[in-house]
Structure 1
Amino acid sequence: MVNQTLLTMKQPELGKVIQQQRLSKGMTQEELVERCNINVRTIQRIEAGEVTPRAFTVKTIMEVLDIQLPANEPEGPQPTAKPIFSAVDKRQLWWAGMAGVIYFLSSSYEVLWEIALMANTEMQQPGYYTLLKTVVLISYVAFAYGFYLVGQRTDNKVLQFGAVFVMLVNAGIIGADIYSGKVVGAEDIWFGVLEVVAFGISLIPFSIGLVLSKKSLGQHYQAIGILGLITAIMFITVVLTLLGVFTLAAFDIACIYLLFRHVQGKEEVRVGF
């Protein structure tokens, strides 16, 4: 019987049996992980036969699925629930969040100057404009790294790629302005359009990565990821760029919130297996 063999069953048979029992109960993976207090990625890997869980993890799943434990089966040691982010990770996320705050403030000031310079080509840009651009670039890279770390800890390859991609694209855009010593789009409108479209494209994989984080980190990641996709579309269309500036501000603030949220320990835990 299942309850007599489940504890000693090998993969991939174990994962198949757990999946069948879960489906027979009409239960989704999300519902199972909520009741087991196990990370959704863990359940996915168990059912896929990728890992062999510890006896305690199997027993927890059996209890939730109403599979009776054998009376003579000794109880094993219960592992401590492990947080997704370590203390070191949280310090790095805190610094990434602070970098996000610096980026938001400096980039907002930068945008105001760019709008003014592109609207009035006779206006002189400030002497510290290159320094301002450099601060924006460095702070943005540090900010985006926070999400690379989040993707790494949650095994979200899309978020990792998106974070690196958005770093590289923005480094190219801001680097072009730093190299030229002026706002490139102010004199060459088509190059300015190219920068806007490129920025919009860079947000797409990053935002998709946030959406895919819903399973492991919650629905707020999905909502913020959707906001990022909407912002990306606005920039790509060019004509909605001005509106996109406002949604981008909301998106940046929401992303900063996500990083500080993890620093405060508001994330799910995973059980070792």
Structure 2
Amino acid sequence: MKQPELGIYIAQLRKEKGLTQEELVERCNINVRTIQRIEAGEVSPRSYTIKNILEVLGKSFDEVYSGTKEGQDSKEVESSTMKYSFNNSLLLYSGIGGVILFICYYLMTINDVFHSFTQDNIFLESSYTVLGVVSIITVVLFYTGIYHIAQIKNNSLLKFSSILAMIINVISSILLITVIDYDSKLISPRDILFGIFVIVASGITYLMLGAGYLSQRKNEEGLAKYLGFVGLIAGGFMITVLLAPIAFVLMLIFDLGQIILVFRNLSQSKKSINS
């Protein structure tokens, strides 16, 4: 059994025994950080460490790693863990919310860019406000799904980053439809200050999200393995303000990647249930 399946299996056994991570490490004589990384699938522990943990949890090393009936039972427990790890309804709503958020956010951004050069707007003020309100609702829904994925994968940094992204995006949307006036000429110190805040705060958000995805890179494949790099570069460029146009393109790619990952986790979860 390899990672991340081993970590999921150990976490399931621990929960069935009613043990916390702290209680388990006391009996195994290892530190809390080690068991956290094992359960998160971040490291592949040595065989004697696995034996020690499994014995405390009422399983033997041979039982888990052999092809015997007991080994098959352990695989069934592992499969069951994978089946019920994700809340599929939450991921579905999160993915749909992400698509709507993506459309609303970038329509607003296109309008803002157009306004900054021409002092005119593409959308009516009422339409722009509706886009902002919908963005506020869907950003909460979308990042709730990202938080759920991070929680299941025991990724503390991504959990924190998803909450931060949710808060900053809500604040930014509120500023765009209230404080930074629709017909603003962007010449007053207040409007410039709030505009810079929105840009820099967005950059920080993407930096944190990128770091969160990178922290679980070893356990991912394909798109998920490289998404963190895109987030870090986008965030770094955004914070400079001057490189914001380049960051905008990278952010678009990163946001699409996050949406794809939500739907991919949903698809994998459904397949595991049906298998």
- In the superposition, relative to structure 1, how do residues 262 and 122 fare at CA in structure 2: closer, same or farther (>3 Å)? closer
Match runs of 1:142-221 below 5 Å? 142-180=141-179, 182-183=181-182, 186-187=186-187, 188-218=191-221, 220-221=223-224
Give, in angstroms, the shift of residue 124 of structure 1: 8.1
* TM norm structure 1: 0.71
Amino acid at match of 1:186: L
**In structure 2, distance between residues paired with 1:59 and 1:217:** 28
Root mean square deviation, CA, Å? 3.8
Deviations 1:170-212 (A, max 9, x none): 1111111222372568342333122101110122222211111
**In structure 1, distance between residues paired with 2:154 and 2:136:** 27
Amino acid at match of 2:59: A
Match runs of 1:30-109 below 5 Å? 40=41, 47=49, 52-55=56-59, 58-59=61-62, 75=70, 78-79=73-74, 80=76, 81=78, 82-84=80-82, 86=84, 89-109=87-107
Give, in angstroms, the shift of residue 43 of structure 1: 5.6
Unaligned segments of structure 2, at least 5 residues: 1-25
| Greater relative contact order (Cα < 8 A, sep 6+) | 1
Give, in angstroms, the shift of residue 132 of structure 1: 1.0
2:124 to 123, 126, 131: 126
Deviations 1:33-53 (A, max 9, x none): 9xxxx9726965994977734
Aligned residues: 232
Q: Is the 8 A contact 1:154 1:216 kept in 2?
A: no
Amino acid at match of 2:240: T
Amino acid at match of 1:138: I
Amino acid at match of 2:73: Q
Q: Is the 8 A contact 1:200 1:231 kept in 2?
A: yes
Q: Is the 8 A contact 1:84 1:153 kept in 2?
A: no
Give, in angstroms, the shift of residue 63 of structure 1: 5.5
- In the superposition, relative to structure 1, how do residues 200 and 146 fare at CA in structure 2: closer, same or farther (>3 Å)? same
- In the superposition, relative to structure 1, how do residues 76 and 226 fare at CA in structure 2: closer, same or farther (>3 Å)? closer
Unaligned segments of structure 1, at least 5 residues: 1-9, 20-29
1:249 to 252, 260, 266: 252
1:12 to 4, 19, 28: 28
Q: Secondary structure at the match of 2:164?
A: helix
Percent identity between the two aligned chains: 21
Amino acid at match of 2:41: V
1:27 matched residue in structure 2: none
- In the superposition, relative to structure 1, how do residues 170 and 85 fare at CA in structure 2: closer, same or farther (>3 Å)? farther
2:108 matched residue in structure 1: 110
Q: Is the 8 A contact 1:140 1:167 kept in 2?
A: yes
